[in-house]
């Protein structure tokens, strides 16, 4: 049956093959659900047929359930967010390294920044080529500026997982660091590919603090621009 369904997926077969597959599938299910039509057909015990009905209904609905589950699993974490601030990072003041954007819910306020109950995404779009080693070196430098080795120790497994997942980038590539407050899930996304998922709001706060922490962020001017549209509280 799955081979028949695949024939009818876009780009996998001709219309004639698709129609033939569907007619064949319909015939098989009709026999399974209603029994073969035969001149000598006699009344049979309905219990086996009811069991087959239930089985084939489940079989027919399974692809739909799988599609819904896949759609939910691949939902973009930034779908319900808007850009709240943006800036860029420059090397030696004139080489533009990347553009940065902070995405958050439209009603987010300044007090929500780096709070476990609020979702956010940091989106970095690169203007030059960089290596994975460049990312790891810079991140470790900032984290050790903000925390001691002993403070980082409990987060070291998650930090190492994320750092091992970094890839080299070329111009136009994009990294996103997204935190879903409802699921308490932090994800590192390269272009549209999820590289790492960590369930820990504390880790999200720690790592996003590289850019957003009030104390010794990567670039204080960039932090201010990312948070520029956020007010101090709800009216």
pLDDT one-digit tens code per residue, 106-161: 999 988 889 999 999 999 999 999 999 999 999 999 999 999 999 999 999 999 99
Higher model confidence: residue 175 or residue 28? 175
Name the 3-class secondary structure at 69. Answer: helix
pLDDT at 137: 97
pLDDT 10s digits, 27-82? 554 544 455 555 455 555 666 666 656 655 555 555 544 444 444 444 666 788 99
Rg (CA), the chain: 27
The chain-wide mean pLDDT, for the chain, equals: 80
pLDDT at 78: 72
166 vs 91, higher pLDDT = 166
Among residues 88, 115, 93, 91, the alpha carbon closest in space to that of 104 is found at 115
pLDDT at residue number 49: 62
Which is nearest to 114 in space by CA: 194, 199, 181? 181
Instruction: Characterize the bridge pairing of strands 185-190 and 174-180.
Output: antiparallel
Alpha-carbon span 117 to 51, nearest angstrom = 47
What is the predicted pLDDT for the residue at 95?
A: 93
Spell out the residues 6+ positions from residue 3 whose beta carbon is closer than 8 angstroms to its own. 21
The string over 198-218, giving b where at least 16 C-beta atoms fall within 10 Å of a residue's C-beta and e elsewhere, is bebbebbbbbbbbbbbeeebb
Tell me the Ramachandran region of residue 215: left when phi exceeds 0, alpha when psi lies from -120 to 50, beta otherwise: beta
Choices 3.30.1330.60, 3.30.70.20, 3.50.70.10, 3.30.450.20: CATH for 82-226: 3.50.70.10
Out of 28-42, 71-85, 90-104, 210-224, pick the least confident.
28-42
- What pLDDT is stored for residue 100 in this prediction? 98
The whole-number pLDDT of residue 112 equals: 87
Cβ-based neighbours of 116, under 8 Å, separated by 6 or more? 181, 184, 201, 202, 204, 205
pLDDT of residue 212: 96
Helix and strand tally (H, E) in the chain? 8, 6
| Domain ranges for the chain | 2-38+45-72, 82-226
Contact in structure between 8 and 22 (CB atoms under 8 Å): yes
**pLDDT higher at 26 or 80:** 80
What pLDDT, on a 0 to 100 scale, did the predictor assign at position 178? 97
């Amino acid at each position: 049956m799955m081979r028949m369904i695949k024939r009818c997926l876009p780009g996998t077969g001709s219309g004639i093959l698709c129609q033939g597959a569907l007619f064949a599938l319909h015939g098989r299910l009709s026999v399974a659900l209603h029994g073969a039509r035969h001149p000598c057909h006699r009344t049979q015990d309905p219990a086996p047929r009811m069991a087959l009905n239930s089985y084939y209904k489940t079989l027919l609905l399974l692809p739909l359930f799988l599609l819904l589950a896949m759609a939910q699993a691949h939902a973009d974490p930034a779908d319900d967010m808007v850009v709240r601030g943006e800036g860029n990072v420059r090397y030696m003041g004139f080489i533009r390294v990347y553009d940065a954007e902070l995405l958050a819910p439209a009603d987010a306020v300044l007090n929500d920044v780096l709070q476990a109950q609020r979702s956010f995404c940091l989106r970095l779009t690169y203007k030059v080529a960089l290596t994975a080693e460049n990312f790891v070196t810079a991140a470790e430098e900032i984290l050790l500026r903000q925390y001691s080795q002993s403070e980082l120790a409990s987060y070291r497994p998650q930090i190492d997982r994320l750092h091992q997942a970094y890839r080299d980038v070329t111009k136009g590539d994009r990294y996103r660091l997204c935190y879903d407050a409802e699921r308490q899930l932090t994800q590192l996304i390269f272009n549209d590919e999820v590289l790492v998922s960590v369930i820990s709001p504390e880790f999200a706060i720690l790592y996003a603090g590289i850019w957003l922490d009030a104390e010794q962020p990567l670039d204080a001017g960039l932090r201010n621009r990312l948070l520029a549209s956020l007010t101090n509280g709800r009216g």
